[in-house]
Amino acid sequence: MIKIAIFASGSGSNAENLIKYFNGNKRIEVAYVVSNKKDAYVLERAKKLNIPSIFFSNKDFEDGNEVLKFLIKEKINFIVLAGFLKKIPSNILRLFPSNIVNIHPSLLPKFGGRGMYGDKVHQAVLDNNEKETGITIHYVNENYDEGQIIFQEKCLVEASDNVDAVAKKVHQLEYDYYPKIVGDILNNKCYF
């Protein structure tokens, strides 16, 4: 079995969508939800969906040692970031080369980087009068939103769109594509 850990800091609608998508899959399972926020709604969702979850403090994510021990103990093969707002420590990056992916709610390299998350991204898209925006699924490296791009999908930004309208379109693209792309990546990989 390929074991995924989903890292999330917030609501976790993408986490829920990923869990449901892989439910019953014979080769891939979401084994854990990991959060750096004790009261993140994603932990409620995990509970409802019967997926084990664990909290690590922001301090644990500074050096990554405890998190790394946990990932090794649980034999996690692949990490999916879904609204996870901390940087991944370098020891975890080293142990999971090309095995950590993130989704960003814009067409990177536009509107990425530190502090660019959630509605801030969509507001920047509107402020810049962009005619289109979308999603980027990419590998994770030591810099925010700079790892190799795996997949992008676009949607139109209408003149009448506000932040909520853009967020809704982008979220829909996330739900439509993130689980499928993660599945495609994992189906082309070999784990021992």
Closest contact distance (angstroms) between CB of 113 and ligand GRF is 13
| Polymer length of the chain | 192
Smallest gap from Cβ 135 to ligand GRF, in A, equals 7
User: Is 138 a residue of the active site?
Assistant: no
Q: Residue 128: which residues within 8 A CB-CB, separation 6 or more?
A: none
CB 41 within 8 A of CB 110: no
Q: 99 or 169: whose CB is closer to ligand GRF?
A: 169
> Among residues 43, 82, 107, 182, which is the contact residue for ligand GRF, using CB under 6 A?
82
First to last CA, the chain: 10
Q: Is 83 in the site for ligand GRF (CB under 6 A)?
A: yes
Minimum CB separation from ligand GRF for residue 191, in Å? 25
**List 64, 105, 112, 179, residue binding ligand GRF (CB under 6 A):** 105
Residue with structure tokens 């995990």? 46
Binding mask 9-28 for ligand GRF (x = CB under 6 A): -xxxxxx-------------
Q: φ and ψ at 177, to 5 degrees?
A: -110, -30
Our finding on whether 101 is near ligand GRF (CB under 6 A) is no
Residue in 104, 122, 138, 171 annotated catalytic? 104
Which is nearer to ligand GRF, 110 or 191 (by Cβ)?
110
Q: Do 30 and 105 form a contact (C-beta atoms < 8 A)?
A: no
Pick from 101, 91, 93, 96: which is nearest to 7 by CA?
101
Torsion angle of the four alpha carbons 22, 25, 27, 28, in this order, in degrees rounded to the nearest 10: 10
Closer to ligand GRF by Cβ: residue 96 or 117: 117
**How many residues contact ligand GRF, by CB under 6 A?**
14
Task: List b or e across 14-31, with b for residues whose CB sees 16 or more CB atoms inside 10 angstroms.
Answer: bbbbbbebbeeeeebbbb
Q: Least distance to ligand GRF from the beta carbon of 175, Å?
A: 9
> Which residues of the chain form contacts with ligand GRF (CB under 6 A)?
8, 10-15, 82-83, 103-105, 117, 174
Hey, which residues are catalytic here? 104
